[in-house]
C-alpha cells in the first residue's frame, strides 16, 4: 500500500529535520545553544498544554454549575447561540415596550378627553 510507504517517509523526514544542524555565515548553532532552544521550546509547549488544561477545567466547571455535564463542543456552541438570540429578543421586547409606553400617555389623554366629552353629552341629555 502506498500510504504506508508515504507515512514512513514522512516520519523519516520529521526525524531528519529535527537532527538538522543550522549553520549560516553569520550564525553557527552550538550544541549548548541547541540545548537551550530545545529546553525553551519544551517549556513553551508545557505552558501551552497547561493553559489548555486550565481552560478545559474552567469550562467543565462552568458547564457543571449550569447543570450541563457530559456535553460536546457542538452542544456548548448551540447553547451560546441560543443565549445570544434570547438576549437579542429580550432587548427587542424591552425596546418595543418602551415605545408602547411612550404612546400610552397620548392614547390615555385622548381617551380621557373622549370620555369627558361623552360624560358631558350624557349629562346634558339627562338634564
Question: What are the pLDDT digits (tens) for 66-80?
Answer: 777 766 777 778 888
Residue 117 lies in a domain: yes
With beta carbons less than 8 A apart as the criterion, state whether 104 and 111 touch.
no
The conformation of residue 19, written as its DSSP 8-state character, comes to: T
Say how many residues make up the chain.
127
Question: What count of other Cβ atoms lies within 10 Å of the Cβ of residue 76?
Answer: 14
> Cell for 99?
415605545
Looking at 34, 53, 71, which one is the last position of a domain? 71
Evaluate whether residue 54 is within a structural domain. Answer: yes
The C-alpha atoms of residue 126 and residue 122 are separated, in whole angstroms, by: 6
pLDDT tens digits, 19-73: 666 667 787 888 999 999 999 999 999 999 999 999 989 988 887 887 777 667 7
8-state DSSP, 23: B
Q: Residue 23 phi/psi, 5° resolution?
A: -135, 130
Asked if the structure places residue 9 within a domain, the reply is no
- What gap in Å lies between CA 67 and CA 61, rounded to an integer? 10
33, 54, 71: which is the final residue of a domain? 71
Whether residues 51 and 78 fall in one domain: no
Question: Which domain range does residue 107 map to?
Answer: 72-127
**pTM across the whole model:** 0.38
2 domain residue, yes or no: no
Q: Which residue has the higher pLDDT, 48 or 117?
A: 48
Amino acid at each position: 500500500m502506498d500510504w504506508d510507504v508515504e507515512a514512513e517517509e514522512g516520519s523519516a523526514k520529521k526525524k531528519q529535520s529535527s537532527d538538522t544542524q543550522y549553520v549560516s555565515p553569520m550564525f553557527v548553532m552550538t550544541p549548548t545553544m541547541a540545548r537551550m532552544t530545545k529546553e525553551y521550546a519544551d517549556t513553551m509547549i508545557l505552558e501551552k498544554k497547561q493553559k489548555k488544561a486550565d481552560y478545559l477545567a474552567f469550562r467543565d466547571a462552568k458547564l457543571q454549575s449550569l447543570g450541563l455535564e457530559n456535553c460536546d463542543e457542538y452542544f456548548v456552541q448551540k447553547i451560546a447561540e441560543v443565549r445570544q438570540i434570547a438576549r437579542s429578543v429580550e432587548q427587542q421586547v424591552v425596546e418595543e415596550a418602551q415605545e408602547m409606553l411612550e404612546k400610552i400617555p397620548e392614547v390615555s389623554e385622548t381617551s380621557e378627553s373622549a370620555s369627558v366629552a361623552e360624560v358631558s353629552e350624557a349629562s346634558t341629555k339627562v338634564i
